Amino acid sequence: MSVISPLGQSVVVNKLFRDVPLEAERVVFPTNLMELSFGEFDLILGMDWLVKHCENLDCAAKRMILKTSEDEEVIMIGERRNYLSNVISVLKAEKLVHKGCEAFLAYVSTSVVKELSVGNVRTVKEFPDVFPEELPGLPPNREVEFGIELLPGTAPVSITPYRMAPKELVELKAQIQELLDQGFIRPSVSVGSTGNVREEEGWVNAHLNKLTIKNKYLLPRTDDLFDQLRGASVFSKIDLRSGYHQLRVKEANVFKAAFRTRYGHYEFLVMPFGLTNAPATFMDMMNRVFHPYLDRFVVVFIDDILVYSRTEEKHDSHLRVVLQILREKQLYAKFSKCEVDPRKVEAILDWKSPKSVSEIQSFLGLAGYYRCFVEGFSLIAAPLIKLLRNGVPFVWTDKRQESFEKLKKILTKAPVLISPEAGKEFVVYCDASHTSLGCVLMQEGKVVAYASRQLRPHKVNYPTHDLELAIVVFALKIWRHYLYGEKSIIYTDHKSLKFLLTQKELNLRQRRWVELLKDYDCSIEYHLRKANVVADALSRKVISDLRAMFARLSLFEDGSLLAELQIKEK
């Protein structure tokens, strides 16, 4: 049976409960109920029930009079609550923003977590064997197997086991028994062994790693992988269960992966965690398995698989292909929901102020990875970067603390960027000052990436014409992987650059840069500085204040609120 829900959606009803006793003010009302999949409500009384039992309803007074089958009246009075917030209309909010009032955007969503299982997820439920609770045993022989090649002349490694606390010994014994039961290790007669330390995710073989010939197989750049997602709107992330343990060690190398404990001498039959060439070997195997579909609708990074599609219909087909491959190759995945771990965000927010240059390097190493998402990154980080120069004493000032706190705040915000699509025109906004360069890459009016850089000392004295040309060259070089072979328009607030390619008299530096410009299908257009707010702000030492001039507020079915703001310089 199908019914229309209070939200106007058609819902299939599988169960009907008749004459359920519903008690109100110690009076029982027999009620027929249907089971609906609404996690937010325990019970909804429909119009048919109110027509039958409600005599009078006063919403203002929160008072309702019910009538029993014996014509007895039952009076119910609801609780009054004083709400702290007031609700205003979108039009009123728009007027207030127009007047220059400050507007704050809060995104609120429910924290209710629904338990999912393989059996109730579309497409996935067709492949329950791909998502076992535990690995079924030793993996099959595969095209790629893990090898351990030692440096020439290396003697067998023999390391005395570390001393361990009683609680650690209990855990070690349990882990060894678990690995034996799964068939991942076996008793060893190898003359060598490494001292192994159990960490959160695996076995660390520090001594063996020093003597191993390093595999030169390069892992892919994560930013290149993300660029493949252009145009996609539906995603599924699959994480292999104990991925490394799904790849065998070459039989001839098994003795090299031996380890000794007080409970015996063992060797790994599957690839252990912590060995130097493990990520590269596993990546090689995954690339071979999914080679026909890479950069079409699959991205692979070690033991993580991302399936991406433009529509839900295509995604069902793509996901089914991936799961079928996993089934055929006997690769097993974990069934889990992909969510942002709040502990990762808390770790950044709780990051203590650096006490040394090495601590600053560690923080900037993390922050620098996200610089393309951050507007004006080089300006914000400049006070911290100065401490990395030779001969600069470590003095922590209020200005540096402010820079540190601002970067922490930025890193915990979700960037509002898009993945670019090939074949569509790019737009670059550029601006240069005598302190730094700034540019923005856009497509169809949406930001793809930001870039900014402080000027090197020898470039500070460049004439204005060369500075403006330098930022154009900087943008083309840093975004070459996007712009090469694509049509693009570059906007600058220096009018003479528009006629650069037709000028006859150029210095050597300009000639060199013009030759680079000829490699791209781009045109340079003039743009007023006041209309080029973002790029101008990126290059200025003092970033201009931005004020909201128009706001559109949208309320979604899940209760979340989205505000779209247009801005202009004060």
Domains and CATH numbers, the chain: 2-77 (no CATH), 121-334 (3.10.10.10), 342-411 (3.30.70), 426-539 (3.30.420.10)
Q: Quick check: 544 and 533 in contact, CB under 8 A?
A: yes
Tokens encoding 553: 């507020």
**174 and 111 in contact (C-beta within 8 Å)?**
no
Closest CA to 243 of 214, 262, 270, 225: 270
Q: What's this model's pTM, rounded to 2 decimal places?
A: 0.54
Long-range contacts of residues 323-327, Cβ cutoff 8 Å, at least 24 apart = 323/123, 323/124, 323/126, 323/127, 323/130, 324/127, 325/289, 325/290, 326/127, 326/130, 326/238, 327/127, 327/129, 327/130
Residue 318 has what pLDDT? 92
Phi first, then psi: give them for residue 58, nearest 5 degrees. -115, 100
Q: With b meaning 16 or more CB within 10 Å and e meaning fewer, what string describes 516-528?
A: ebeebebebeebe
Which residue blocks in 99-255 are alpha helix, DSSP H? Answer: 166-182, 206-210, 222-227
Provide the β-strand partners of residue 245.
Answer: none
pLDDT of residue 19: 85
- The DSSP bridge pattern shows strands 54-58 and 2-4 to be unpaired
Contact 378, 452 (CB under 8 A): yes
| pLDDT (tens place) for every residue of the chain, 570 residues total | 777 766 667 777 778 888 888 888 888 888 888 887 766 678 888 788 888 888 888 887 888 888 888 888 888 887 766 655 567 778 888 888 888 888 877 766 666 656 666 666 777 888 888 888 888 888 898 888 888 887 887 776 666 777 778 888 888 888 888 888 888 888 887 665 555 444 433 344 566 777 777 777 667 776 677 777 777 888 888 888 888 888 888 888 888 878 888 888 888 888 887 777 888 888 888 889 999 998 888 988 888 888 988 888 898 899 999 999 999 999 998 887 555 555 555 656 677 888 888 888 878 876 766 665 666 677 788 888 888 888 888 888 888 898 888 888 776 665 556 677 778 888 888 877 767 777 888 887 777 777 777 777 766 667 777 777 888 888 888 888 888 888 888 888 777 776 666 666 777 777 888 888 888 888 888 776 544 544 554 454 333 333 333 444 444 444 444 444 444 444
380 CB-near residues (< 8 Å, 6+ apart): 374, 403, 406, 407, 410
DSSP 8-state assignment for residue 100: T
Distance in angstroms (rounded) separating the CA atoms of residues 553 and 564: 7
Cα(130)–Cα(123) distance, rounded to whole angstroms? 12
Would you state the pLDDT for residue 561? 43
Kindly give the residue spans of alpha helices, DSSP state H, lying in 82-165: 90-98
> What does the angle CA 561 – CA 565 – CA 568 come to, to the nearest 5 degrees?
165
| Of 333, 188, 205, 331, residue with least CA distance to 265 | 188
**Six-digit token string for 143:** 């095209």
Q: Where are the alpha helices (DSSP H) in 154-277?
A: 166-182, 206-210, 222-227
**DSSP character at residue 352:** P
Is 519:70 a contact under the CB 8 Å cutoff?
no
> In this structure, how many other beta carbons lie within 10 angstroms of the beta carbon of residue 42?
6
